[in-house]
Structure 1
């Protein structure tokens, strides 16, 4: 019984949820960026260069994708844990004075190494779960990316419990230890299963996925509500962290029930496709046709195996996905990385900055998970192509940037802007990978998923260093503190304008692929 419980796709799903809930330390850059800037005397442009290399480490995951396509997921997690620990520990040694003050390029190198470890966690978790639940890839990608977005709120809670009344330097130690330990403990469980063995009874899979996801949604709401409480104390933080751990344990029980029900229903119902092929060796194609006509998800059977990886990478549709990701997510990273400086310039305290980070983190979860469910629903019931929702997410992101522009006059728009940016940023992280898996299949998904992100740090570099950093330093004087909305107002206007390009490119992709989605999902 214990072997069956540990060796099934539902337990793998829960293990990947836990890994992703600890893997997003990159979204907590605002918690320690000011510490790095003041201790090392960096200018805003230098700090933005560091943040760009952070984004580069997070987005350049081609190595992890190639590694995943050739080796088991546990090896990918092992490499990621090693990189994560090495990079963050060295940065912690720099910040705490145990090593000499580093040149900017050294900080860039080690923060890139640290954050790049996150790509191994993401690849192992997301690609494995999409492989295990191919008929529900929207909700699975949304859940995994949502937990990643939620992780910065969880890690910041753990940080306040372990290091109360500490500055941002101690958070680096939490980021070095917690994700690596969780990944190392759970890596033997994370493995791929043949999705054809689970097609029978797939009508109830969505319900079971909803049950697994429900505790994570409750956790997101709990963390959001707790972040607004002004009476934070060490005891309150301990209670918050304990409740968060209890909520995170709940999906394990749901996974046990789902696995038991799935095994029971499989043993008493129609045999799986793999079993049919074994007993009908001479008529494989007829068996596949008969089986798919009974309601199996045709996207599982007809993957794009006739197209080479190079052909997929060179296609115009893939270029549009890559361009949309680069613009929308690259500009989003600029907003997230500078949120601490924006809040400081507008007179907010460190407590308020923590609230903004938590709001963005929680709303990223709802954006990733919510748009995953919503896009799956529209896709299966109305044939609505995901790129259309990506265009909508781009428009919402533009509105979020404009709310930050208004924060100099109306401080409450800073809160609303954090919520809107988090939702739209998270939605893009969910929709683009799901689109790639649908248009190009799962044969090279590990590599395509990571290549899709290569343009993000390029856009982030231009907008961070030559827009946000340059304008901030121009207003403050080199290395000085800037006060008022003038520090970032023009920056966020430019971000909103650039994001319109992402809306245009995703609209073109929708127009090019709408008939494919309609034919594939409406005429079944």
Structure 2
């Protein structure tokens, strides 16, 4: 085309249409009207955003003929591209600093719409410093051997901290018993006692009453007839007649109590959700485009914070309970709500959010277990604690099966099939993109919130119990044992009769 008649109001797009009569426009055009107020003498950069696969890529490169368009794999997966869309290519890219990178694949995407946007770039020092800070935070660190040794030593110290607590408590108990024995040795020897019990099947000892028998002291320990009668009653008749909270429940009384059902349901929701996230952490990282090294880091973070969650939850809840009467079920509610934050970070693929999600989910998973078992021991007693302990553990596989197999696995396979993946014998489907786990973790978040709301019912039901001195009976039993040991050290018992 040598000549073309142009009107005065011809737009750049119409001019390009004349140059490319086939209708395929591969150029970007703009006019003087799109200049900023400074005019053509401005030095502001041109930012171009592209809509691809119904996803917006905020900044792209322009192919000027002497450069190539580079798309990181993470962005490609995020905008919905599938592995089958790419074409392998044996090409090596060399950057200006003489570093080489292999090209994974190439893809040709039909252009749908290009938006040309002129954005002002702030040149203030504060914004520059913040950008530099972000770049420094995202930069990978390389540790020396001595630094690895120091971090390992710190982990060993953290592992040994619970032993320090145990040693301290055992030393306090030994010291108190030693002081009690010294006090008894300084007291005058006691008189001989004749201990008489009226029923050898009794387990409850009431306050003693002393009588005189020809100058000889007789200590009569009456028994509780009610307790003796309750021992002979079948456990099936007392299923729905539980004792007060803190006393020893029978197994059936505990299993059919409302408190246990509430606690069991809340544990299914909380532990099931966090365990599902931990089990699928590798697939989540792969689908969101994280490198294999980062996925290994996620697993390490979950393991470390799982342990710290178990230690911190038990230690902190005990301090709050003894000093502030803070109910332990309320601590469980807060842990469930905290785990929801980790689930949402996975669902919406927050940039670098999987690192934070691994920490939160690992901590919350570990924190739920000591709270669960402590609540069982405090509310239902210690007589059948070992069996109730195992019953509480059953909540984990139930929640894991429902949320992982029936929900997450099903939705993952469904999304993979929508992307065109084909199931092969003995192999699972491969899903790529944020949609692989988005709906699953939204559902898990909703279930965890439901578990937190249900746990509030347990907080309300046990608020009076936790406001009282729940350790009073244990202290009384310890004092009785010390008194019996003291009587044995002070003087011999003359006669013991059992009727």
* TM norm structure 2: 0.49
TM-score scaled by structure 1?
Answer: 0.46
1 or 2 for the larger relative contact order (CA 8 Å, sep ≥6)?
1
Higher helix share: 1
